[in-house]
Each structure stands twice: as C-alpha cells, then as structure tokens.
A and B are shown apart, each in its own frame.
Chain A
Amino acid sequence: MLEINSVSKSFGGFQALDHTNFSVNNGEIHALLGENGAGKSTLMNIVCGLYSPDSGSVKVNQKPVTFKGPQDAATEGIGMVHQHFKLVASFSVIENIMLFFNPKKSFGKSKDFVINKAKSLANDLGFAINLEIRAGDLSIADQQKVEILKVLIAGAKVIILDEPTAVLSEDESDNLMTLIKKLADAGTAIVLVTHKIREALDHCDRITVMRAGKKVHEVLPKDVDETSLTKLIVGEEIISTTEYSTNISETPLIQFKDISVSDDRGRSGLSKISFDVFGGEIYGIAGVGGNGQSELADLIMGLKNPFEGKITITDVGNVTLDNARKRRKDGVYSIPVDRYLHGLAGKQSVLDNYSIAAVIRGELGSWFNFNKKLAKSKVNEALIDFDVQGVNNINQRASLLSGGNAQKLVIAREFSGKLKIILAHSPSRGLDVRAGAAVHARLRKARNSGAAVILISEDLDEILLMSDRIGVINRGEIAAEFVAPASRSAIGQAMVSNA
C-alpha cells in the first residue's frame, strides 16, 4: 500500500534520514520503533507531506507520489494522528472534522453529510462521542478518537499514529489497540510509531527498528522477545532493576494533611488527601489518570492552593498558602508533566532555559547585571553532565530539542540547586528506553543523596520499578499505601476500587 524507498533528509547539515526504506500493507499493523531522534517522526512527516525528501521515492499503491503538503497526502489516502493533537479547542467536534475534511457542498449539506458519516463510523467503531461538544472539553482519549475519526472520514487508507498511547491510561490504551485491530481487519494499513516495546510485540504484525536515521532491523514479533528487541533498539542491553533506599530519614521532609483542592472547573480535585514523604525515599503515586494527579502536582509546585488542610516542610514550617516562587525557595523542585507548558519556554534559548533557576536564586550576577559568561560556562558543564544531546549552539531555541533532550534539560536545571524535595510527574513519558533509564538514574541519585522524591505516574511499571513506598490515588484520595516490594495486583485493585 505504502512504500518508501531509500529516502534521505537532512536539516542544515544534520542527517535525519539516511537512505531509509519502509513499507506497510493493507490490513497490516506495522510498528516503527526507535530512540528519540532516530528519525521516526521525520520519516512519518515525509509520508504525510509535511516535509519533502532530499532524495528517494514514496509510492502509494505502486504509484510514485510527490506531496506538496498534508492535503496532497490526504488525497492519496494517508492520514496522520499526531502526538500532539491538532484540534481547535473552541470548535465543536463536527467543526473540527469539517475543518480537515470538507465535501464540496453547501455548508448545511456538508455538515449533514459529515455528521451522518461521523455517526455511522463512530457506531461501527464503538465510539460514544457527542459531536456537538467543544473539542477542548473532551478527555485526551476522546480527542484522540476525534483525530482518528477525522482521518477516516477524509478517506484514509493508511493511518499513521505517532505515539498514540503516550497520553493514555492502561485501559484507554487497551481500547485503542482493540480499535486499531478492528481498522486493520477492515483493510486499513496502520503504522504505529511507539516507544513501548510491549505494545509492538503484543499488537503488531511487523516491527521496523530505526537507529540514527537508518532502518536497522525488520522483524516479526514472534521472532523476538522484550529483551532482544530493546537490544535491537538501543544497540546495547539496558537492564532495569529495582533498587531500594537504604537511608530513609527519621522524620518526614514534607507532610500533607487533609488537603482539599478544587479542579479547574470548580469540582473536587483532591479531597482530604494526607501523606508524608521522608528524606531518602521515592514515594510513588499510582493511579488511573484524572484521579487528582494534576491537581496534586500543581499543589506541590505551589501553582494551586488548597482550600483546606495543611502542608508542612521540615525546617520551613507551614507552607500551605505559598506560591511557586516561595516553594522553590523552600527547596521543592519539579519535573512537570508537560515540558512545554511548565518546564521550558520554547522560544527562549537553551542557555536562558537552563540559567533561569540560578538567576532567580541570585547566583548569576546581581540585579543590575546578568552574568552571561558565568551562565555560559555553567550551561556547558550541565549539558555534558546531564548528557543533553542535539544542542548545536546554546543560543538555539529550546523548542528545537527532541522530547528526551528537552526533558534532560529540564532535569539539569531543576537539579542545579540544592536538592531537598523533588516532584517528578510522569518523568519518562514519551522518552525512549535509554533516556527513560537516564531519568530514573537521576531520580535515584537524588534520593540516595537524601532528597525526598515524589513520583507521580500512570505507568504502573515505572512506579513499581522506582518506588520505595507507593500511595494509590483514587478519586482525589490516597486509597491505599504500600511498602515496596508491593503486589502489582493489590495496587491495581486499589486504583480501580470504588470505595
């Protein structure tokens, strides 16, 4: 159905793709694996018409095609569901679909046409989405369904999904995989770009592995297992083992007592949540997404204040109503869940994004003068120390970094001060195996130096791998606490119980 032959692409001297081949057949689910920066996204952006290749050819149904833009690709039946959804939040679902696909009819008629089509498709696939609701009011999983609906209505024969499960909970991921299977059975060719090895092994028909812009392997899931596939991806073996703390402090570093917070829409986000975190431990907070994790993260960062309850930090005292600035002064640093919302200013340079924490602490020059020379030497040290790749020039925009490197930059900055309390909210989301392992190693290092680490993650594997103690958050409360090693099924039970 889709065939890519010997495609190359470079960006200002950087060879993103080097004579890469790739193909996908009707009714096939083809996984595309590789580390951050291996060239997966560039390859798929070429397929969907966003980039044009320097050399090589793209064929659809054995016919060579040249795309001038995404519209061309859509006409050839190629649809892409991007990692960051491209929906207009203030438009209704149906308007979003019409923005993408517009049958040449009068407005009223085409709206009816699209509505009917969307309804019948949604019915076939088992979606329950209100088509008149604003896209911004949908959950992430539903937004993704709208994206899929969008490309299907436009007549996509090949659907490319870029890390579709990165933002989904386990249940939602399973549902999505069932849906994808259904589409493939109906004859659609599916390309699944992913970091999750299990996903590729369990659900795909063929696996292509890319490394440094080249296709290095094409294997069938039955021929490999998790370990050997990881090895193919990173070129070496990364073994993840648990390693528990040995020096937990006597008294807690931070205490939360009966905290209640309302969410953005005024509903209850956290209700009377209480837990303590000790120095030298990683406290994992497990839970299904949307059970108060983001409110808890905002609370810890000082972006949100509770309407009842008390937060105490050792050596500081009552910090319940402090803002983010004060919180950081008290030694609470964080790796936020959305790097580009709370972690980095994409338009600012790598240098500025790194230096800002130290500038606020008053370490880089005085009020009158920002000491750029000192900042430069510091950032260069940190980039090496934290292995941030892809920085050609420290004055380049931070938004040009790939996901893994952007995350490393955030961590480098957050770890540049004295570590006391660290919040890590889904710190390895969207990262490849190697980068994820590096992040985990950093968190462990911080813990071993005596810091209290709060790890919020919807990925139970990550929680089990990292935590010394685990609290399960359910409907804005800590439903149960476990001391590692804990039973996976018991935690899972507490995550979904309705008590």
Chain B
Amino acid sequence: MPDKKLEKTDPLFSNGLNLNPEKREFQFVPRLEVRQNSPEWLRLVIYALSLLVGCVSAIIVMSWAGVKPDDLIQEISALLFSGTRTIASILAQTAPLVIAGLATAAAFRANFWNVGLEGQMILGTIFASFIAIYDVGPDSIRLLLMALAAMLGGIIWIAPAGFLKLKLGINEVITTLLLNYVAFNLLLHLLFGPWKDPVSGFPHSAQFDQVERLPHLGWENLTYTLPLALLLVLVTWWFFTFSRAGYLINFVKSNPNMAKAVGVPVLGLSITAIIMSGAIGGLTGFAIASGIEFRMTRDFFSGFLFSGVLIAFLGRNHPIGVAVVALFMAMLVLLGQSLQVFYQVPFALIQLIQAIFIICVAASEFFLTYRMHWRK
C-alpha cells in the first residue's frame, strides 16, 4: 500500500483540491456534473451573460488605459447613432468578414479544419485579376467571369489538401496552412514581376477598369460586396439548414462511421463541403479586390484567416450566426480605430478587447456542458 497520509496532504495529488476532510467546508470549490440536457433558452442566456462579462471586462481594461466608461459609451453611441455614414462603414467592413467566416464555416461543418483561407483568397484574387488584367471576355460578363475565376482559384488551392486528407489521411491543418505561404510567395512574385503596376511602379497590380469593379449600391459608398455577402449567407443557410445534403453533412461531422454505415455518401459530401469552402474563400479575395481595393495589393488578405476561424467558431458554423458575429467584429474594429485616433489607445489594446470577448464566449461552452454545485 502506498503511504496514504502523504497523498492526502499533498495538494498535487488531487488537481489542486485539498482533500483534508476537516478543512473542506471552508472552501468554495464547485463540484461539476455533466449536464443531461441543455435547452436552447439556456444557451441564449449563457451567451448573453458571457457578452455582458466581456463588456464589463472591456470597460475595466479601457478605463485602466485612460478611456473613461462614459467616454466609451459616447464613442459607441457615436458609432451607432451618428447617421448613415458610420452605419455604412460598419456594413462595408462587415461584408468581407461575413464571406471569410462562411468560407471557414463551410469546411468546419464537415470536420475539415481549413486554415488555408488566406491562400485561397490569394489564388482567387490572382485568377480574378488575370481576367481583369488581360481583359478576358466581353465587358458585359467580365465581373461574372472574374467571380467564377476566383472560385476556381480557391478550389484549386484547397483541392490538394482535400485530396491528401480524404485519400491518405494527412492532417489538413498542416497542408492548408503551409499552402498559404506558397500562395503568398506566388503573389509576391507576380506583384514584383510581371503584374507590377506599370503606372506607379509600386508592387500592386494595375487598377481595375470600371467594368471590373463591383458597382456602387447608390447608398453612401457601399458597393455590391454587401449584397454578395448576403446572397452567400442565404445560399449557405439554405444548404446547411434545409437541403438534404446539409442534413446529411451533420452526420459526417458528428459520427462518420455511423454515417457510412447508414449509407450517407461521406466522401461525396466531404468533397462538396471542401469545394464550397475553397470557392467561397476565393470569392472573399474577389470581394476585396473588386469591391474595395479595385486592384490586387500585397496585403489585402492579411488577418482574414484568423478572423474567419474566429467568426466561424463564435457563430457556431451557422451562416446566420456568422453574419451576426461578423457585424459585431466589424463594430469592434471601427470602435478600435476611433479609440486609437481620439484617445491614443494602442492597437494592441484593441486586440486585447477582442480576445476578451472571444474568451468569454468560448468559456460559455463550459457552462453549457457542466452544471455546478456550490453547496458544501
């Protein structure tokens, strides 16, 4: 027999819980139990609470950094209620984030951890820019050709990772991630080489012609990037929530063995989701190049991989959830920008606030899985 006394008093033995029975009643360590069921209302309540905790922590951090709570509230209300211009800039910021979130969520839905969004964006943009630079096809369908080319580019860049995963079981996190670097260097090669802007000589492509840009909506300075994002939300929402394939994909994710045994075409559905993810990833690049920058730049993609994963995760891979979270993220970005300008708050602090929100929402999952007992 091992020395029992030693174990009892050694806090390490029990994951930090002191097992000494006499002292137990003074502790406030909760006991955990796995929940038998977690209803939908509880999910909403816990999410709301987590956002509240996030807001409170953000206010504390900001006031520590010199932004008083009432100033912060003033900034937020300025962002939301000072007219159509700020609303429009929030929406303009939201659109590419939505598409990036959808691209990531589509793959996550089928258990394919696509972290190659940036590579797919780059390839999509390269393909679309090719159409634009060499004026392929008649003007009337140039934009459509660019969008299709972008989708093709995204698909081509996700395909090897998908093939390696499905055929040989090679981890897609590694392959998709590394393909980002390949794509990035290809982009640099083009921008410093053959596709360098002939007008300015800077490492970005020549400006797209008017017919190669997503047109203006006619309201503020919004372009058709936003309707494109909304259309993609609707299509993916229908696909994942109402279509038969979307219904079956849920089984591919939650139990592929069972799915195969009951006759779900696991391979076909995985391929569908992967292709979908690549295509939307390519469109993300197209939406930025053709809707915002009007050329292919050196760093149009940067940060989207991380944002996409985050938005998909926080939106629980649900297209509507993705749209809502993307809107929230866009507001955080703009709020951060004005705080930077007017209060000299460093950018790192803005990222810190974002991280706080993410941790809060992620932590809420724990409370949905477990139930706590605070009684002795």
Contacts and interface: CB of A to CB of B under 8 A. Distances in A.
B14 A347 contact: no
Contacts of B245: 367
Interface string A352-373: 1000110110000111111000
A482 interface: no
Interface residues of B, number: 43
Contact of A72 (B14, B37, B244): B14
Contacts of B36: 11-12, 14, 400
Interface string B254-282: 11011111111100000000000000000
B261 A342 contact: yes
Given A301-B261, A345-B254, A367-B243, A155 B1 contact: yes
Contacts of A294: none
A104 interface: yes
Contacts of A27: none
Given A356-B251, A369-B242, A392 B37 contact: yes
A298 B255 CA distance: 17
B259 A345 contact: yes
Given A68-B29, A68-B31, A345-B254, A370 B242 contact: yes
A359 B261 CA distance: 14
B202 interface: no
B261 A368 contact: no
12 contacts: A12-B36, A14-B36, A72-B14, A72-B19, A104-B7, A104-B12, A155-B4, A325-B265, A328-B263, A336-B261, A345-B251, A356-B262
Nearest to B255: A345
Contacts of A403: none
B6 interface: yes
A346 interface: yes
Interface size class of A (residues with CB under 8 A): 35 or more
A426 interface: no
B23 interface: no
A71 interface: yes
Which of A334, A343, A344, A360 has the most B CB atoms < 10 Å from its CB?
A360
B248 interface: yes
Nearest to A367: B244
Contacts of A365: 244
Contact of B248 (A102, A356, A366): A356
B262 A360 contact: yes
A356 B264 contact: yes
Interface of A: 11-12, 14, 50-52, 65-66, 68-69, 71-72, 75, 101-104, 155, 301, 303, 324-329, 334, 336, 340-348, 352, 356-357, 359-360, 365-370, 392-393, 396-397, 400
B263 A360 contact: yes
B33 A52 contact: yes
Contacts of A392: 37
Contacts of B4: 75, 155
B169 interface: no
B19 A346 contact: no
A370 B243 contact: yes
A327 B2 CA distance: 56
Interface of B: 1-2, 4, 6-8, 10, 12-15, 17, 19, 21, 24, 29, 31-33, 36-37, 242-248, 250-251, 254-255, 257-265, 373, 376
A71 B14 CA distance: 6
A360 B259 CA distance: 11
B19 A75 contact: yes
Given A104-B7, A328-B263, A329-B263, A341 B258 contact: yes
Q: Which of B1, B6, B245, B263 has the most CB of A within 10 A?
A: B263
A244 to B, nearest CB: 31
B8 A75 contact: yes
Given A324-B262, A325-B264, A341-B258, A69 B251 contact: no
A149 B254 CA distance: 34
Contacts of A329: 263
B261 A66 contact: no
Contacts of A324: 260-263
A346 B2 contact: no
A71 B243 contact: no
Contacts of A52: 31, 33, 373
A75 B37 contact: no
A66 B32 CA distance: 14
Contact of A104 (B10, B246, B254): B10
Nearest to B12: A104
A356 B269 CA distance: 15
Given A155-B4, A341-B257, A360-B263, 12 more contacts: A11-B36, A11-B37, A66-B376, A69-B17, A69-B31, A71-B17, A303-B261, A324-B260, A324-B263, A352-B247, A369-B243, A392-B37
A348 B264 CA distance: 15
A359 B14 contact: no
Contacts of A360: 248, 262-264
Nearest to B25: A66
B21 to A, nearest CB: 7
Contacts of B2: 101, 103, 155
Q: Which of B15, B32, B37 has the most C-beta atoms of chain A within 10 angstroms of its own C-beta?
A: B37
B261 A370 contact: no
A344 B259 CA distance: 9
B95 to A, nearest CB: 27
